[in-house]
Chains A and B, each alone.
Chain A
Amino acid sequence: MECPVCRESMIVIEYDDIELDYCVGCMGVWFDAGEIELMLGKSGIPFPSEALRFRVADTDARELRRPCPLCGKTMQKVCPEHGRVILDRCPAGEGIWFDAGEIREVIKESAGAAGDIVLGALRRYLGEALAEK
Chain B
Amino acid sequence: MWEIARSNKRKSVIFVFLMALLLVLMGGVFGEHFAQSAETGLLVAFVIWVILSIIAYFQGRNVFLAVSGAHKIRKEDHPRLFNIVEEMTIASLLPAIPEIYIIDDPAPNAFAVGRKPDSAAVAVTSGLLNTLNRDELQGVIAHEIGHIINRDTLFMSMLGVMLGSIVILSEIARRSLFFGGGRRRTRTSSSGGGQIQVILMIAGLVLMLLAPILARLIYLAASRKREYLADASAAIFTRLPEGLASALEKISVSPIRLRKINQVTAPMYTINPLQNMKLAEDSLFSTHPSTLNRVRILRSMAGGSGYDAYDAAFRAVTGQTRAIIPPSALKTAHATVPSRSRRSDPKSDPGTDQTKQAPSAMGMAGAVLTAAVLMDAAAEPVTPAAKVRETTDAIWKSRGYRFIPCPCGAALKVPPDYRRTDIVCLRCGRKHPAASAS
Task: List chain A positions with a Cβ less than 8 A from chain B.
Answer: 1, 8-17, 19-20, 22, 24-25, 27, 29, 125-129
Q: How far is the CA of A8 from the CA of B418 in the complex (A)?
A: 8
**B426 touching A12, Cβ below 8 Å:** no
Q: Which of A17, A27, A29, A128 contacts B428 (CB 8 A)?
A: A128
> CB distance B413 to A22 under 8 Å?
no
Q: Which residues of B contact A13 (CB under 8 A)?
A: 410-413, 425-427
Decide: A11 and B423 in contact? CB cutoff 8 A: yes
Distance to closest chain A CB from B381 (angstroms): 12
CB A96 to nearest CB in B, in angstroms, measures 16
Can you give 13 contacting A-B residue pairs, CB < 8 Å? A1-B415, A9-B415, A11-B423, A13-B410, A13-B427, A16-B409, A17-B385, A19-B413, A20-B426, A24-B422, A24-B424, A27-B424, A127-B428
Q: B411: nearest residue on chain A (CB-CB)? A: A14
Docked-complex contact B415 and A126, CB < 8 angstroms: no
Size bracket of the B interface:
20 to 34
B429 in the interface, Cβ–Cβ < 8 Å?
A: yes
Query: Are the CB atoms of A11 and B414 closer together than 8 Å?
Result: yes
Add 9 more A-B contacts to A11-B412, A13-B413, A14-B410 (CB < 8 A): A8-B419, A9-B419, A13-B425, A14-B413, A15-B410, A15-B411, A24-B420, A29-B426, A128-B428
**Within 8 Å CB of B424, what residues of A?**
24, 27
Asked whether, in the complex, the Cβ of B428 is within 8 Å of the Cβ of A12, the reply is no
Question: In the assembled complex, which residues on chain A have CB atoms less than 8 Å from the CB atom of B415?
Answer: 1, 9-12
- Which residues of A sit under 8 angstroms from B408, Cβ to Cβ? 127
Report the nearest B residue to A29, measured CB to CB: B426
Cβ-defined contact, B389 with A27, below 8 A: no
Residues of B within 8 A of A15 (CB): 409-411, 427
Contact with A along B393-413 (1 / 0, CB 8 A): 000100001000000111111
Asked if A12 and B410 sit within 8 Å, CB to CB, the answer is no
Complex CA gap A8/B422 in Å reads 13
- What CA separation (Å) do A34 and B418 show in the bound complex? 26
Hey, which bits of chain B sit against chain A, CB under 8 A? 385, 388-389, 392, 396, 401, 408-415, 417-420, 422-429
Kindly report which residue of chain B lies nearest to residue A12, judged by CB atoms: B413
In contact, A12 and B401 (Cβ under 8 angstroms) = yes
Q: Which residues of chain A are near B389, meaning CB under 8 Å? A: 14, 17
Report the minimum CB–CB distance from A119 to chain B (whole Å): 15
Known pairs A11-B414, A13-B410; A129 contacts B419 (CB<8 A)? no
Residue of B nearest to A129 (CB): B426
In the complex, A56→B4 CA distance in Å? 63
B421 to chain A, nearest CB (A): 10
Give the nearest-CB partner of A8 in chain B.
Answer: B419
User: For the complex, what is the distance from the CA of A15 to the CA of B408, rounded to whole Å?
Assistant: 9
**B410 neighbours in A (Cβ, 8 Å):** 13-15
* Top 3 closest pairs, chain A to chain B, by CB: A12-B413, A127-B427, A15-B410
- A125 near B427 with CB under 8 A, answer yes
> Given A17-B389, A127-B428: A12 and B396 within 8 A (CB)?
yes
Residues in chain B near residue A10, CB distance under 8 A: 415
Nearest-Cβ distance from residue B199 to partner chain A, whole angstroms: 55
Q: How far is the CB of B104 from chain A (nearest CB, A)?
A: 13
Query: Which residue in chain A gives the minimum CB-CB distance to B418?
Result: A9
Bound-state CA distance A121–B12 (Å) is 62
CA distance in complex: A31, B397 (Å): 21
In the assembly, what is the distance between CA of A25 and CA of B423, in Å? Answer: 9
A19 to B415, CA, bound (A): 14
Cα separation A27 to B424 with both chains bound (whole Å): 9
Report the Cα distance A16→B385, complex, angstroms.
10
Instruction: Find the A residue at minimum CB distance from B431.
Output: A24
Q: What residues on B are CB-neighbors of A25 within 8 Å? A: 420
Q: B392's contact among A1, A19, A22, by CB below 8 Å, is which?
A: A19
Known contacts A11-B413, A14-B410, A15-B410: does B429 contact A128 (CB below 8 Å)? Answer: yes
Say whether A9 contacts B426, CB under 8 Å: no
- Give the chain B neighbours of A127 by CB distance below 8 A: 408, 427-428
Known: A8-B419, A12-B401, A17-B388. A129 touches B427 (CB 8 A): yes
Check if A24 sits within 8 Å of B423, measured CB to CB. Answer: yes
A56 to B401, CA, bound (A): 36
Chain B: minimal CB distance from A21 (Å): 9
- What are the residues of chain A within 8 A of B418 when measuring CB–CB? 8-9, 11
